[in-house]
């Protein structure tokens, strides 16, 4: 899958070099949205608040293409099949209000696309209610919401961008 950057660099005789992007620094553009991978390990609720503080929300994956893009461009370099349980990131799906009825936290919509790992979701010990994506398989698992993981934020690209 090829990533197309929506960024340009221009030289202005008065201002010097200027950098323009579809998204603010640290965020990556994909199909009218901007994405950010938080590197710190937070609980699902802490990650949700961190995304909100940046004007976004925990990502809502709506297609296989988006799922693959998130893995290909936001995956940490150290992740291998041997470390897969350490290589997961929080996304916005959860079933905290109603067991086995997963919804996106921000939009409150049910999931129309899923990519569950084999035997997932399993609500192990009746404690797993928040969803994460695994590297490198791009599959989803349910985890205890109090576990600390990196996370992916999403927001609509700013209006008035290039």
Number of domains in the chain: 1
Is pLDDT above 80 for 53?
yes
Q: How far apart are CA 63 and CA 24, in angstroms?
A: 24
This prediction has a pTM of 0.83
Q: Indicate whether 2 belongs to any domain.
A: no
Q: How far apart are CA 60 and CA 126, in angstroms?
A: 24
| Domain with 32 in it | 7-156
Q: Indicate whether 162 belongs to any domain.
A: no
What integer best gives the mean pLDDT of the chain? Answer: 85
Q: Indicate whether 74 belongs to any domain.
A: yes
């Amino acid at each position: 899958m090829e990533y197309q950057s929506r960024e340009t660099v221009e030289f202005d005789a008065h201002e010097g070099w200027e950098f323009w992007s579809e998204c603010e620094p640290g965020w990556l553009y994909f199909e009218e949205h901007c994405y950010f991978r938080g590197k710190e390990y937070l609980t699902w609720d802490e990650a949700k608040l961190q995304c909100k503080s940046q004007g976004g929300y925990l990502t809502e994956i709506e297609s296989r293409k988006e799922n693959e893009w998130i893995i290909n461009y936001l995956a940490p370099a150290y992740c291998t099949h041997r470390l897969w349980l350490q290589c997961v990131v929080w996304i916005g799906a959860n079933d905290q209000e109603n067991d086995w009825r997963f919804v996106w936290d921000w939009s409150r919509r049910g999931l129309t696309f899923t990519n569950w790992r084999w035997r997932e979701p399993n609500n192990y010990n009746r404690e797993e209610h928040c969803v994460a994506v695994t590297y490198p398989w791009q599959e989803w698992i349910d985890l205890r919401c109090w576990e600390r993981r990196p996370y992916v934020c999403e927001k609509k690209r700013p209006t008035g961008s290039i």
